[in-house]
Structure 1
C-alpha cells in the first residue's frame, strides 16, 4: 500500500455559473466510520475486513498510522474496495516510532491516544500552518494524568508531539469536551487496553455528541463493553477487554453528501435533481442534516438509504444549532447565501479550530465573492441574496476542503464565476469533488491564473 496522495489535482480551479442536470453520483464512504472501524480492526488480534473504506488523503494518513501501531494492511481486490487488516491486539513497536498524520485532525487525535501505549512515539505533520496549529492540550493533560510523558509544542500542545508510555496506567481521568469531542474518543479507544480500565469525567460540556455516539457504536461492535450516562459526561470502561476481529461495511459520508445537496438546493433550475444512495437512515448527523434542508425550504425526500433533492425551489432563512452537523456547516452556509431573508447558525465556536478558521475565513471569502455574512464568536449570520452574487474574483480555500466545497457552490450561483486557490486540498476528504460537479453539469476547469 502506498503512502502517496491518491490523485494529482490542480492548485487553482475556475467555477463558472452553471445549471445542474439530473444526476446520481456515488457518495464517498464515511470518514467517521472508516477511521473508527479501521482503528478497531488494527487493535483486534486476527484478520478483519473493511468493505468500501473511504479513499482520501486522510485515509492514507490513517493507514500509515495503523501500520506504525503494528497492524498489517492489504487490499483484497484490485479495485481497492475491500481492505484486509491483520491487527495486533495491542499497539507494539520495539523502538521509537514517528507517525506523519498529514492534515488529518481526527486521525492525529486518535493516534495520540493509542500511541500512548508505545515506548516512544512522535506524531508529526507536514501541514504546520493547518493541523500544526490545532490544539491538543486537553488530551495531553489527560494522558499525563495516566502516567504518559508528553512533550507537545507550545502551550496548546501543537504537533509535533512526543510521548513515552512505558508508565501508562488506568484509573480515573478528566478531559474537557469544550473544543473537540475527539479528545474523548481517543481516550475511549485507549481505555479497554489499560490494565486497570478507565473512568472518564467530561467537563466544560461536550461538542459534536453525534460523533461520540458513533465511537461508542463502533467500540460495541468490536466487542468492547462501555458504561456511560445519557449526558455522555461520565464513562466507565472495564479492564481485561480485547477488540474482536469483524467485517465492517462503511456507509456513505453525510458531510460529502451535504456539499452536493447544498449545490442542488441553491440551484435556481427547476429541472435539476440529485439522487444519492448508500446514506444510512437513522444516522444522527444525517437526520439533522436532512431536517436542516427541509427547514430552509428545499424539496428533499428520503426513500430508505436514498435521498432525492430537486433544485429550483425558493429557499428561506432559518436558524439552527450547528453543533450536531459541524462538518456540514460551510456548505449549509453557502446554500443559505441564496435564501430569502436572514439565517443564523449558532453554537459553532469549535469551527474556529478546524483546518482553517471556518467562521472568519469562510465569511471573509464568501463576502469577497459578493455574499453578505457576519462572523461571530459562536455563530454565523447570513443575509441571503436569492438573486445570486456578482463573483468575478479569486477566493482562497485556506487549505481547507470544507471551505473549497462552500466556495464552489457560491461560484455556481455567481454571475462571473469564482477562481478558487488551494484547490488540491479537496483531496483531504473528497478527491473527486470537482470532477463530480462536472458530471452534474457544472463548468469547473483548472485555471492558470
Structure 2
C-alpha cells in the first residue's frame, strides 16, 4: 500500500486547474448511454470511480470510446464518445457489474436497471459493500423493481420491469437517492416526484433538462414526466469544486499563500464550503463567472487569511457533504471553536468520516469532540506531525495531506491509493505549488 509524506510548507503560489467534476462525469455517461445516438463528453474525469460507470455501460452493450487521456498529466481528463442505445436498448450483462468504490455508480445504476426487462447484479469493493442501499431499494421497490441484497447492503441483484410513477418524500437529502428515482422515472408513465428535506446537488436535474427531458423544480420538490428519452448531447465538464476545495483550504491556512484556481464549477448546491470559509474570515474571490454546458463556472482566488470558528448545521450540510473532511482541517487551523451538527450522513460515506477525522486530527494535537451527528473542533496555531490513517477514504487522505502543510515535522499518510478514485494528480499539483 502506498503512503505519502508531507512537510510543513512555505507559501503556496501559482495557478492550477483541478480535475474534472466527478459527479457530472458519472451522470454524463449515464444519460448519454440512455440517449439514442452519439454524445461527446469533453474534459471527462479519467479516474477510477467514473471509469466504473463506463465499465458498467460497456457491459450492457454501449459503445464508449475514450480519447485524449491525460492532457494535464496523471490521466485527469479525457474526451469520451458514446453511442447511446436509448432507454430500451441496453443488454443484459453477462456477469456481475463491479462498481469498485463508487456509490454513485451503484445507486444511479439501480435507477436505470429498475426499468430494464432483465436482472443484473452489482458488487463493489469492501468500502462500498459497507454502504447502505435501503435508501434506494425502498423507493425503487415502490416503483415496481425487485431487489435481493445482503440485508440492505451490496451486492445487489436488481430485477427490472414495468414501473409506476410515485410521489416520494426522501428521509435524507441525497443527490444519489434523488437521481436514482428520477432515472427510474424516465421509464414510468406519468409524473415521478421527489421531495427532499434539504436541497442536495442538482447536476442530474440540470443535465436532464439540457437533454430535453420535461422536468420541473419547485423548491425542494423535483418532478419528471416519464416515457421521455434523453436527447444526445455535447458537454464540457467543469473542474470539480470538491477537488478545488483542498487547494482553496490550503491557500487560506498556509501563511503567505495565494492560489488561483481555474475553471471551477460553482453550482450553488456544491459551494457550501466556500461560503462557510468566507464567514470564518477567508479571502476568497470569484472571477470570470460564466456558464459551461448548463453549469455555473468561475475562477477562484484563495489567499492566506486568519480564520475564526463558526457553527455549521441545517441546509448548509448537504451543500458541503463531500468537503467536511477538509473543512475540519480549516477548523483545526482557526481561532476558537467550530461546531458541526446535523451531518450524520458523514458516517456512511466511503468511511465513517466523523470518527475518522476525529481520530486523525487528535493525533495532530487538536482538541476535538465527536458527536453522533458531527464534531466540535477547537482550533490551534500549529499542528503536530503524525502517522495518519486514511481508512481507504480519498477525501480523508487528501484532507490530512493539507493538514500536514501546517504541521511541525513530517506527516505520513498511509493507504493513499484511494486518492486515484477522484484525483490521480493530487500530489503532483500540490508539489508544483510548493516549488513556485
Specify the SS of the correspondent of 2:309.
coil
> Which residue pairs with 2:309 in the alignment?
317
Q: Is the 8 A contact 1:336 1:384 kept in 2?
A: yes
- Find the residue that maps to 1:193 and give its secondary structure: coil
Q: Which residue of 1 aligns with 2:293?
A: none
CA distance in structure 2 between the aligned counterparts of 1:17 and 1:88, rounded to whole angstroms: 52
Matches within 5 A, 1:104-253: 104-118=102-116, 119-125=118-124, 127-128=125-126, 130-154=127-151, 157-165=152-160, 167-172=161-166, 174=168, 176-178=170-172, 180-194=174-188, 196-202=189-195, 205-206=196-197, 209-211=199-201, 213-232=202-221, 235-253=222-240
Q: Determine if the alignment matches structure 1 residue 293 to structure 2 residue 277.
A: yes
Cα 1:323–1:442, aligned 2, differ >3 Å: closer, same or farther? farther
The equivalent position to 2:62 in structure 1, one of 71, 92, 108, is 71
Matched-pair contact (CA < 8 Å) for 2:129–2:154:
yes
Contact 2:59 2:94 in 1 (8 A): no
Which structure 1 residue ranges, 4+ long, deviate > 6 Å from structure 2? none
Deviation of residue 398 (structure 1)?
0.4
Q: Secondary structure at the match of 1:279?
A: strand
Name the Cα RMSD after superposition: 2.0
Distance 1:95 1:185 in 2: 22
Which deviations, in whole Å up to 9, do the C-alpha atoms of 1:319-356 show, x marking residues without a partner? 22333111111111101101111112222111111000
Shift in CA distance, 284/201, structure 1 to aligned 2, threshold 3 Å = closer
Q: Is the 8 A contact 2:281 2:308 kept in 1?
A: yes
Q: 2:262: which partner in 1?
A: 277
Query: Does the CA-based 8 Å contact 1:20-1:442 persist in structure 2?
Result: no
Distance 2:143 2:401 in 1: 45
Q: CA offset at residue 168 of structure 1?
A: 2.8
SS in 1 for 2:239: coil
Q: State the alpha-carbon separation in 2 of the partners of residues 295 and 320 from structure 1.
A: 11
Range 185-194 or range 73-82, more displaced:
73-82
| Cα drift, residue 374 of structure 1 | 1.3
The answer to whether the Cα contact below 8 Å between 1:175 and 1:184 also exists between their aligned partners in 2 is no
Task: Name the counterpart of 1:3.
Answer: none
> SS at 1:46's partner residue?
strand
Do the aligned residues in 2 keep the contact of 1:19 with 1:442 (CA within 8 Å)?
no
Q: Distance in 2 between matches of 1:139 and 1:77?
A: 35
Name the structure 2 match of 1:4.
none
* Deviation of 1:175 (Å): 5.5
Q: Does 1:358 align with 2:345?
A: no
Give 1:403's aligned residue. 396
| 1:361–1:206 distance in 2 versus 1, CA, 3 Å | same
1:138-165 Cα shifts (integer Å, max 9, x gaps): 21122222222210112xx111101111
| Superposition deviation, residue 404 in structure 1 | 0.7
2:192·2:226 contact (CA, 8 Å) conserved in 1? no
- In structure 2, how many angstroms separate the alpha carbons of the residues matched to 1:342 and 1:176? 32
Counterparts of 1:64 and 1:406 in 2: how far apart (Å)? 29
The CA deviation at 1:97 is: 4.3
Residue equivalent to 1:102: 100
Distance 2:92 2:408 in 1: 60
Q: Secondary structure at the match of 2:408?
A: coil
SS of match in other structure, 2:325: helix
Give the superposition deviation at 1:137.
0.7
Alignment of 1:57 with 2:51, yes or no, is no
* Cα offsets for 1:93-142 (capped at 9, x unmatched): 146542100001111100111122330100011x22x1111001121122
TM-superposed deviation, 1:179 = 6.4
The DSSP-based 3-state class of the residue aligned with 1:29 is coil
CA distance in 2, matches of 1:97, 1:434: 36
| 8 A Cα contact 2:271 2:319, kept in partner | no
- Name stretches of at least 5 consecutive residues in structure 1 with no aligned partner: 1-9, 444-449
- 1:15 maps to 2:10: no
Task: Name 2:80's counterpart in structure 1.
Answer: 83
| Partner-residue secondary structure (3-state), 1:52 | strand
> Cα distance, 1:256 vs. partner?
0.4
Cα distance in 2 for partners of 1:230, 1:336 equals: 31
- Counterpart secondary structure, 1:276: strand
Question: The residue matched to 1:81 in structure 2 has which SS?
Answer: strand
CA contact (8 A) 1:316 1:339 kept: yes
| Per-residue deviation, 1:201 | 4.7
